Amino acid sequence: MDNLKNLFACLVMYKHNLQILHWNSTGIDFSSAHEETDEYIDKFEKMIDEVGEIIKSLGGNPIGLKDCIEILEKDTTEIYFGADASHDYNYEEVLESIDKMFEDLIKLYTKCHEDSSIDIFNKSKLHKHGYYCMVEGSYKTKAKRK
């Protein structure tokens, strides 16, 4: 359950980070960054919902924002990207930030996938579609920077 809660907390935080990137994107590629972050915000919302439902089906409760922050502060094995709300981001910075978030999420997703105590995770829509979304997103952002 800890792995799921870590994933949930990270998804919540990264959805918020995406919103900051969305609001603070600037430059000639503003509209591309704006559209791309919108797309990922929607995908993250669906993944948050799916992970919350899995946690609930396993007898736990989805966690609130305060708990998400506490979980992320305790987890010293991962470095979580935090968007700076006072910073304007050009398109390249938006893509780099998205890549960092996907790299962290893929690590957390893999931990959940390997955790046999949460078998329902491996049968969920998140397993079928979530990982693909993260890999596809990471691939897309890297390809655009080349």
Fold assignment, 2-145: Ferritin (1.20.1260)
Q: Quick check: 1 pLDDT over 70?
A: yes
Across residues 80-84, what is the average pLDDT? 78
Count of residues making up the chain:
146
pLDDT in tens, 3-25: 889 889 989 999 999 999 999 99
CA distance 27 to 109: 33
- Helix, strand, coil percentages in the chain from 3-state DSSP, rounded to 5: 75, 0, 20
Higher pLDDT, 130 or 38: 38
What residue ranges do the domains of the chain occupy? 2-145
Cβ atoms < 10 Å from Cβ of 20: 18
CA angle, 43 then 118 then 82, to 5° = 40
pLDDT > 90? residue 46: no
pLDDT at 143: 59
pTM above 0.85, yes or no: no
